[in-house]
């Protein structure tokens, strides 16, 4: 099974680049034209890319705050619920 820590090249990828590569890997695997070893390697890389994308989304969600106007008119922020 794939290592829980993404390879250095994945760790440096933007969310968009990782998602694009993941989509290409899925399309390739769905065609079923790869040899078994290549398919397993693609699957393992796909798992690492998926984890990287999830981590990037979690990181972005943690940075987003929602501005809230309290009943007394006070302005504050609270973590946004994006789910």
User: Domain residues for 15?
Assistant: 8-79
- Asked if residue 58 has pLDDT above 90, the reply is no
Query: What are 26-56's pLDDT values in tens digits?
Result: 999 999 999 999 999 999 999 999 999 999 9
Structurally, how many domains does the chain consist of?
1
Element (H, E) at 76: strand 75-79
Tell me if 68 is assigned to some domain.
yes
pLDDT of residue 8: 66
What number is the average pLDDT over the span 12-37? 96
Tell me if 75 is assigned to some domain.
yes
pTM beyond 0.75 = no
Tell me if 2 is assigned to some domain.
no
Tell me if 53 is assigned to some domain.
yes
What CA–CA distance (Å, rounded) separates 19 from 17?
5
**Mean pLDDT across the chain:** 85
> What six digits make up the tokens of 42?
């693609």
Tell me if 3 is assigned to some domain.
no
Tell me if 72 is assigned to some domain.
yes
What CA–CA distance (Å, rounded) separates 4 from 51?
8
pLDDT of residue 60: 83
């Amino acid at each position: 099974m794939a290592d829980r820590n993404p390879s250095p090249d994945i760790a440096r990828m933007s969310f968009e680049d990782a998602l694009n590569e993941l989509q290409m890997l899925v399309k390739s695997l769905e065609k079923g034209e790869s040899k078994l070893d290549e398919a397993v390697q693609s699957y393992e890389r796909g798992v690492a890319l998926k984890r990287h994308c999830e981590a990037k989304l979690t990181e972005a969600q943690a940075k987003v705050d929602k501005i809230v106007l309290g009943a007394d008119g006070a302005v504050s922020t609270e973590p946004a619920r994006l789910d």
